[in-house]
Amino acid sequence: MKKLAAALLAAAALLSLGCGSEQAGKSERVPDNKAIELHVAAAASLTDAMKEAAEAYKAEHPEVTLTFNFGSSGALQQAIENGGETDLFFSAAQKQMDALEKSDNLAAGTRKDLLENSVVLIVPRDSKIELASFADLTRPELKHIALGEPKGVPVGQYTEEILTKLNILDQVKEKAVYGSDVRQVLSWVAAGEADCGVVYATDAAIDPNVKAAAKAPKGSHKPVIYPAAVIKGTKHPDEAKAFLDFTSSDTAKAIFEKYGFVCK
């Protein structure tokens, strides 16, 4: 009986070891169609268009998941420089992309100009204040003017260029409230928390609670160009490049144009 019990225990041990080895083998296998996650840093003004473009891309590439971080281009630039996980960057200005290129954070040969936008002055839809131009920002009835924070928010930088050109920057600053990105500026005006604000034309077009009162004077600021690039050190260079290429495809261009962007 003792010999039989020992034999049974030995058999059980061998069976357990075999099963364990089989399970270990299963856990080590990598699926042929392993899911890929791409982390995309994109300017806040691209939120709606980029989400729709991502849906179109997902339909063609179900194995790729696009995880977005939307915000001011300046904040996104700093996050990338500080080592934040990012595979691609879509900026609302050349300044931030230039900085990343200078600090050797871009994958060689991937940078390109993707889109163009314009700057507009907006007011709440039901506003009783009639503004016909950016020069009207000095009018005394205006109490709160929403602007992008100029250090890191491109629309704020474009705005300062415009106001400097018109020689009214100091006067407007006295009434300015500064948003952390262009969508915060938009939300303040839409909610009536600011009398007016400066955003991109594409932002003004998506919110029914605001209306564009005036376009920035021609030649008053640098062109609003959106550059894009793959970030150096990405774990998925081929997949990142493939999505970047997609954003210049006819499918993506139709989406961007629907939201008011001009494709380069």
Please tell me whether residues 234 and 174 are part of one structural domain.
Answer: no
CATH code, domain carrying 127: 3.40.190.10
Residue 236: predicted pLDDT: 97
Task: Average pLDDT across each block of 10 residues of the chain; the chain has 264 residues. List them in order.
Answer: 43 41 34 80 98 97 97 97 96 98 98 98 96 97 97 97 98 97 98 98 97 97 98 96 98 98 97
Please tell me whether residues 134 and 72 are part of one structural domain.
Answer: no
- The three-state (H, E, C) secondary structure of 163-232, written as one string: HHHCCCHHHHHCCEEEECCHHHHHHHHHCCCCCEEEEEHHHHHHCCCEEEEEECCCCCCCCEEEEEEEEC
Domain boundary (177, 196, 215) is at 215
Does 189 reside within a domain?
yes
Please tell me whether residues 103 and 185 are part of one structural domain.
Answer: no
Please tell me whether residues 92 and 143 are part of one structural domain.
Answer: no
Length, in residues, of the chain: 264
Please tell me whether residues 90 and 124 are part of one structural domain.
Answer: no
Please tell me whether residues 102 and 124 are part of one structural domain.
Answer: no
Please tell me whether residues 55 and 176 are part of one structural domain.
Answer: no
Please tell me whether residues 231 and 211 are part of one structural domain.
Answer: no
Range of the domain at 258: 36-116+224-263
The answer to whether the beta carbons of residues 221 and 75 sit under 8 Å apart is no
Residue 34: predicted pLDDT: 76
Please tell me whether residues 192 and 173 are part of one structural domain.
Answer: yes
Q: How far apart (Å, rounded) are the C-alpha atoms in residues 85 and 105?
A: 12
Q: pTM (2 decimals)?
A: 0.85
Residue 33: predicted pLDDT: 56
Q: How far apart (Å, rounded) are the C-alpha atoms in residues 249 and 61?
A: 14
Q: How far apart (Å, rounded) are the C-alpha atoms in residues 224 and 209?
A: 24
Please tell me whether residues 141 and 100 are part of one structural domain.
Answer: no
Residue 190: predicted pLDDT: 98
